[in-house]
Structure 1
């Protein structure tokens, strides 16, 4: 049974984090912004503890839901840091809802144990990929904030506080895209050059799997977006749309392929 495969400690931490995330996601206005941020920080800490506990168990487990959970936690980590740097940054209570959903999925579908014979470099390779996921997720969140801020600017009355300036949000978004693109490139290059050492003799050179195809397509979209922004001045809604397309392809590349293998086909990739 899927439920029995997760440890009781991971379940307790995960359920506590999911409930804590649900509070600001559903009742931020009722409890106030300050209290909601405090509860969100508590949920983020519990979430991090749950992820650490799962990965420190022997053998550690990993799958599509774990990758989603880590991605959301990394995006929230960016938010927690940014709130210190930009106190006027708008609240992202939707991220709390995603955090709660991701944790529940990770508890229901804990993934498969990593083989004890896997290369020590596999963890570094996975960390690069997941860090790229987290940075692109943060970029998507900033793209959403940009779209909302632009709409509010058009509808706002004179003198209304617009929060963080639109240009600042755009600059932060492209910084996250650039950093995520660098990590995604390193992940692809490492998989191409060291696939045999990471995954075994069956993974020599490039393989035209669904995961690799979607990941390569996302890389092309992000490369075109960064080049278009640098050379042609692409920005605003066009940039946000391309970001969403690239992030969607990246999500299909790893999470989508593993979801099909783990849930629909019932076997580990």
Structure 2
């Protein structure tokens, strides 16, 4: 019996994310959090990631063919973001970001139940080139999505700190901002995301350009998706080059990240959303 195809299984990741947040809420009331509690949370996140990942794989690569849409794209992005957070949280003090990332994953895991996507290609599932391209592209967009969210958090944190210093140097900022890691740690994590995400984005973009016939069964077409993907690649490349040459950081880096990510979002998620929801076309 294939429970992965059942709609009830489609809701299972969201239910588990909800119970994970409930567990975190109950744990946060106890100020003396034990090391065992932290390990249990990490184990819980891993289990939910595993179930969510299996559900996503079987809902996209179906026996009928490759099924996809903007909802599946967002759910995959959230899954990759949480997986990267889970890995980095073993090495960096970023537990305060846990709530935001899990809430995002919970919301996105519900979307495929509302927007089931469309059958794009009956043959793509059996093509290892296409499957590899799709997986790499998904990881790249997921990491860069997490980088964009991270950049927005850094912007809010930076503005709050400057405002607090100007008004009351010895005062306190909002509680949830106080729980964030220092800006230097946040910046280090941001560029870790960008380095890995950009490397995978480069592989995605140029494999698509060079092997379009093999991957998609048609020659390369410079449509809006390709153009926005290239614009995004050049923007991210310029950002990392500026970081290497002149040490770009702070608000300028955040604005650059958000500009590059906007182009990327228009290329991948935006095109599917317009076709499925606004134009109601495959």
Q: Same fold (TM over 0.5)?
A: yes
Deviation at 1:77, TM superposition (A): 0.3
- Name the residue aligned to 1:190: 207
Could you say what secondary structure the match of 2:193 adopts? helix
1:1-269 matches, within 5 Å, as 9-23=5-19, 30-33=25-28, 37=41, 40=45, 42-59=47-64, 60-118=66-124, 119-147=127-155, 149-150=157-158, 155=164, 164-200=181-217, 203-205=218-220, 207-268=221-282
Shift of 1:222: 0.7
* Residues 14, 46 of structure 1: 8 Å contact kept: no
Matched position secondary structure for 1:61: strand
RMSD of aligned residue pairs (Cα, Å): 3.0
SS at match of 2:122: coil
Greater CA drift, 238-247 or 105-114 = 105-114
CA distance in 2, matches of 1:74, 1:110: 20
Q: Kindly tell me: are residues 67 and 208 of structure 1, through their superposed partners in 2, closer, same or farther at Cα, counting changes over 3 Å?
A: same
Find the aligned partners of 2:93 and 2:10 in 1 and give their Cα distance. 29
CA distance in structure 2 between the partners assigned to 1:139 and 1:148 by the alignment: 14
TM score, norm. by length of structure 2: 0.78
Question: Residue 91 of structure 1 aligns to a residue in which SS?
Answer: helix
> What displacement does 1:168 show?
2.8
Change (3 A) 1:116 1:182: same
- The 2-side partners of 1:120 and 1:40 are apart by 29
Report how far residue 29 of structure 1 moved.
Answer: 7.2
Q: Distance in 1 between matches of 2:203 and 2:76?
A: 19
Structure 1 spans left out of the alignment, 5+ residues: 1-6
Q: Is the 8 A contact 1:219 1:246 kept in 2?
A: yes
Paired with 1:10 and 1:218, the residues of 2 have a C-alpha distance of: 37
Counterpart CA distance in 2 for 1:66 and 1:189 is 23
Shift of 1:264: 2.2
Q: Is the 8 A contact 1:28 1:93 kept in 2?
A: no
Shift of 1:171: 2.0
Q: Distance in 2 between matches of 1:61 and 1:120?
A: 16
Distance 2:158 2:19 in 1: 28
Deviations 1:109-168 (A, max 9, x none): 22223423334311111112111112212322432443455456554859x987644323
Moved more, 174-183 or 28-37: 28-37
Q: Which residue of 2 aligns with 1:4?
A: none
